[in-house]
Structure 1
Amino acid sequence: MSDYEIIKYILNDINEDLDDEEKVHLLLNKTVSENNECKESFGQRASDRLSSLAGSWTFVIGFTLLLLVWITVNTVLAAKSFDPYPFILLNLVLSCVSAIQAPLIMMSQKRQDEKDRRRSENDYKINLKCEILLKNMHYKLDRIIECIDEKTK
């Protein structure tokens, strides 16, 4: 084989490999972008926002201040208080907040799990693509080495 034939053979092989790599690249990019285009409903966005608010220091401090003001006002007013000492109304309000907050947090966690699963699938696909391309590069290098060895013999 002449130098020209070896170079021509390698270049043809490289063009075929590039076409294969492009197909793999397009296939994986299409599936990754389809996973990222997931639309969120109004309820899902609302539960995410409320969960992030309920888990913030602003909410914790604000709610603690509200409780302290509630207890202080009802303790100081004593006879004229709107919620006397056992604070039954306060217990009802806290129970209602908990009853609403718990499902919202669970919905938000479920959505986050779905996002994490999609992200994990995308990572797997990217790793698979890299592995395929790396194997292909090793194969090409082996073929180039074989051609060089044949040429030197």
Structure 2
Amino acid sequence: MAAVMTAKHALGADEAKLLGELRALRRSQRAHAPDAHIPRLTLGQRVADQVAANMGSWRFIIIQSAVLVVWIALNLTAYVRHWDPYPFILLNLALSFQAAYAAPFIMMSQNRQQDIDRQQAANDYRVNVKAELEIELLHDKIDELRGKEVLALTQAVENLTNLLRKSEGGRGD
């Protein structure tokens, strides 16, 4: 325990306090359920995430492309009444309407994801600081053990030297 106290003093008061806080934070996080820190999403957040996920998928792009091709083909051919003749003003209006409503949903989802990423980065930083302080403590403990080992070896060499001198002194008489 004295080695731990010595090593903590080697860190400095501020670093030892920070390490204690980080350890306590980690213990409290482990005490809670793994999903306890995940906030509940509001209806708006769920809708924004769903819209962003769907509009950013290949399925959406393929379906929208097919609808556009059918729309243009029907309005260029004589099979049906031309409800949106070239230059397709109604189609342009529909796509503008879609973009005007999709952009805020996508931005809300991105902003929420940014907040999550920022929180994860802050957690990563705390973990890195804690790891650095823990490694520094380990280095201090190893240095202390090495110092004790060198001291014990030095003492053993002195004892052996004294024994040799005594044995040589006893033979010379």
TM-score bucket (shorter structure): 0.7 to 0.9
Aligned equivalents of 2:73, 2:111: Cα separation in 1 = 39
Distance 1:110 1:147, change over 3 A: same
RMSD over aligned Cα atoms:
2.9
Equivalent residue number for residue 25 of structure 1: 23
Aligned equivalents of 1:119, 1:108: Cα separation in 2 = 17
1:10-41 per-residue CA deviation (whole Å, 9 max, x = no partner) reads xx336768xx8787433235469799423321
Check conservation: 1:78, 1:84, Cα contact below 8 A. no
Distance 1:29 1:134, change over 3 A: same
Equivalent residue number for residue 43 of structure 1: 44
5+ residue gaps, structure 2, are 8-15, 156-173
TM-score by length of 1: 0.76
Aligned residues: 140
Give the structure with the higher percent helix: 1
**Structure 1 stretch displaced more, 24-33 or 140-149:** 24-33
Q: Is residue 2:107 matched to residue 1:106?
A: yes
The partner residue of 1:13 within 2, 8, 12 is 2
Bigger radius of gyration among the two: 2
Equivalent residue number for residue 68 of structure 2: 67
5+ residue gaps, structure 1, are 1-11
Give the residue type in structure 1 aligned to 2:26: L
Aligned equivalents of 1:29, 1:45: Cα separation in 2 = 31
TM-score by length of 2: 0.68
